[in-house]
Amino acid sequence: MDQTTLIGLLAATCTTAAFVPQVIAILRTGNVDGISVMMYSIFTVGIALWLSYGIKVNDLPMILANSISLLLAISVLSLTVFKRWQKKKNPCEESQIATA
């Protein structure tokens, strides 16, 4: 493996791993108040395009990083939309939990 590929893999690992704490925080707390659906929507499309580009140019670090990042970004986006939909559907549920 050449040095350029190694740098790419290390960079990909760092930027991809940055999503993991957000996914874990949402799964643990259920709190999605600070998540921008518009930002994550645009970002997810961007990652999908970068993945397509990486496949087209056959760049392993780009393919690996963007595949995993896409899954994590879709997770954050899906959880955010689902939690907000759930909150709208059952607005009293949160206050019932707090008083129990």
Please name each of the domains of the chain with its CATH number: 35-84 (1.20.1280.290)
Question: Which stretches of the chain are DSSP H helices?
Answer: 3-17, 20-29, 37-57, 60-89, 91-99
Please report, as a single letter, which amino acid is at residue 14: C
State the pTM of this model: 0.76
Angle at 28 between CA 20 and CA 99, to 5 degrees: 155
Residue 42 has pLDDT above 80, yes or no: yes
pLDDT digits (tens, 9 = 90+) for 60-87: 888 989 999 999 999 999 999 999 998 8
Q: What percent of the chain has pLDDT over 70?
A: 92
